[in-house]
Amino acid sequence: MKNEPGTNDEPGTNDQAVLAVEDLHTEIRTPQGPLKAVDGVSFTVRPGEMFGIVGESGSGKSVLGRTVMGLYTSGPSMTVTGKVVLNGRDVHALSPGERRGLWRSDVGMVFQDPGTALNPVKRIGRHLTEGMRGMSRAAARDRAEELLRLVGIPEPRRRLRQYPHELSGGMRQRVVIAVALAGEPSLLIADEPTTALDVTVQKQILDLLGRLQSELGTAIVLISHNLAVVAGRAGRVAVMYAGRLAELAPAADLFAGPRHPYTEALLASVPRLDDPPHSVLQAIEGAPPNMAAPPPGCRFAPRCRYATSSCETSPALVADGGRAFACHHPVDVGGA
């Protein structure tokens, strides 16, 4: 395994992005008409960084993740425009065969439900060795065992012979992560990797992802509807609202002083450890827009307490000192 902690994440030493997403649009054809699930999203992920993507359910996070992977491509059911460049290669310009190669060597994906990600009639060992080419059976088994050890599964040799149902949910998610890591990808996309798990197991899986990021130098895109999941783990965070990026900032800046009113409202609705017990959270009023017929202009305007008539035109995502936000009336962060 590659083991180069820290070599890739010093600012300025490596400006080659592992992932560059440029003006990405994913429009899904539905019986109700076209639905712009991802509507002009751009961002880059640097080698070895943990990049968080947060937003309410339905904001387009999963469609974004799957389009970035090249699991969603233009076809009868959807249209994808814009660019996804992974390690210098345009994901959507590749042939299906080349894309499958990419999933082995460049990018791995971890989904919400580890139950459905694994085939119930295949042993754990098969899941891990399937993609291994040009290796003896013994070497493949040793490698599979090494991968299980890497993701913190005890008694790996015995586990290789077991079926998914013989493992707990947390252990299954560790196996899914091991499978995703088998080709030593430079990027892992984890879409709500802990949402289906018990609270105590959630923390263990998030700690594992953090350890893999720092020990292997794997860049991780951590997608969650829950800001608390990315807090303290992601270096930078993108906030998604109704198919667009509302704000993108270093995590510390975002939590210390959100610029977008949506981020501000999201932060106010996250329970904090120092909240008095049973204190009432300030939920965000209103509901996210119907994505088949979103409001014109700023999509958050109907729920925004700062909205004015200027919000009838769409605000662009503009950079401001290492962060960016799409808002005509950004929240003041005193002294900035």
Using CB under 5 A as the criterion, which residues of the chain lie in contact with Mg ion when the complex forms?
61-62
Asked if residue 63 binds ligand ADP (CB under 6 A), the reply is yes
CB 45 within 8 A of CB 17: yes
Query: Is residue 260 within 8 Å of 328, Cβ to Cβ?
Result: no
**CA–CA gap between residue 211 and residue 208 (Å, rounded):** 5
**Sign (positive/negative) of CA torsion 235, 222, 23, 324?**
negative
Q: Is residue 55 a contact residue for ligand ADP (CB under 6 A)?
A: yes
Interaction between residue 75 and ligand ADP (CB under 6 A): no
Determine if 185 is a binding residue for ligand ADP (CB under 6 A).
no
Query: By C-beta, is 182 or 234 nearer to Mg ion?
Result: 234
Asked if 59 touches ligand ADP (CB under 6 A), the answer is yes
Token duo for residue 214: 């720092």
- Residue 8 vs 112, nearer CB to Mg ion: 112
CB of 181 to Mg ion, least distance (A): 22
Alpha helices (H) in the chain, listed in sequence order:
61-69, 96-105, 114-117, 124-129, 137-150, 156-160, 169-181, 199-216, 227-230, 251-256, 261-268
Tokens of 243: 């198919």
Burial letters for 182-196: b for 16+ Cβ neighbours within 10 Å, e otherwise?
bbebbbbbbbbbbeb
Reduced to 3 states (helix: H, G, I; strand: E, B; else coil), residue 286 is coil
Q: Which of 3, 57, 95, 200 binds ligand ADP (CB under 6 A)?
A: 57
d(CA 25, CA 36): 7
Answer with the entry of ligand ADP, Mg ion, none that 58 interacts with (C-beta below 5 to 8 A by kind).
ligand ADP
Give yes or no for residue 35 binding ligand ADP (CB under 6 A).
yes
Does 219 bind ligand ADP (CB under 6 A)? Our answer is no
Give the β-pairing of 244-250 and 323-325.
Answer: antiparallel
Site string for ligand ADP, 136-175 (x = CB under 6 A): ----------------------------------------
List the single partner that 60 binds among ligand ADP, Mg ion, none, CB under 5 to 8 Å by kind: ligand ADP
Cα distance between residue 111 and residue 231, in whole Å: 20
The least CB distance from residue 55 to ligand ADP, in Å, is 6
193 interacts with ligand ADP by CB under 6 A: no
> By rule CB under 6 A, what string of x and - marks binding of each residue 272-311 to ligand ADP?
-------------------x--------------------
Nearer to ligand ADP among residue 58 and residue 210 (C-beta)? 58
Minimum distance, C-beta of residue 107 to ligand ADP, in the bound complex (Å): 18
One residue of 46, 49, 54, 61 binding ligand ADP per CB under 6 A: 61
- Site membership for ligand ADP, residue 60 (CB under 6 A): yes
202 φψ region: left (φ > 0), alpha (ψ -120 to 50), beta (else): alpha
CA distance 51 to 29: 29
Q: What is the distance of C-alpha 151 from the center of its chain?
A: 19
> Which of ligand ADP, Mg ion, none sits in contact with 132, Cβ below 5 to 8 A by type?
none
Nearer to ligand ADP, 36 or 236 (CB): 36
Is the Cβ of residue 41 or residue 167 nearer to ligand ADP in the bound state?
Answer: 41
Nearest alpha-carbon partner for 298 in 312, 279, 282, 280: 312
The residues of the shown chain that bind ligand ADP, judged by CB under 6 A, are: 28, 30, 35, 37, 55, 57-63, 291
